[in-house]
Amino acid sequence: GESVGLHLPTLSVQEGDNSIINCAYSNSASDYFIWYKQESGKGPQFIIDIRSNMDKRQGQRVTVLLNKTVKHLSLQIAATQPGDSAVYFCACPGGGADGLTFGKGTHLIIQP
């Protein structure tokens, strides 16, 4: 079945630095990937998505990179701010179900 995981449970960065959150997936047939941000007590908030026919996609202060060869994607956040503190999940369709499969999440902590 599909599995999606993140490399680190916690990432601590200095305010103003760039953050890189990594994610690995197992199903080479996966064709769509989404990054979500979840703040305490709230639901996952859509950040950015990427289709498998792309290697890179940029949003506002965020960039997602997709490496299909090694089945890896990353989320880069530029000039990290205190409001970026949250748990970040990568997700993709899979496992035969119609829903998304989520990884366990990376908790991004911003140091002042």
Smallest distance, Å, CB 77 to other proteins? Answer: 18
- Window 15-74: residues binding other proteins (CB under 8 A): 31-32, 34, 36, 41-46, 49, 51
Residues paired with 6 in a beta bridge: 23
Give the binding range for other proteins (CB under 8 A) out of 16-24, 57-65, 73-81, 85-93. 85-93
Choosing from 25, 105, 108, 110, the residue that interacts with other proteins (CB under 8 A) is: 105
3-state helix, strand, coil in the chain (%, to 5): 5, 55, 45
Give the binding range for other proteins (CB under 8 A) out of 17-25, 57-65, 70-78, 97-105. 97-105
Do 100 and 33 touch, CB atoms closer than 8 A?
Answer: no
Residues paired with 56 in a beta bridge: 65
Do 91 and 101 touch, CB atoms closer than 8 A?
Answer: yes
Hunting for tokens 């200095």 — which residue is that? Answer: 14
Choosing from 11, 23, 86, 100, the residue that interacts with other proteins (CB under 8 A) is: 100
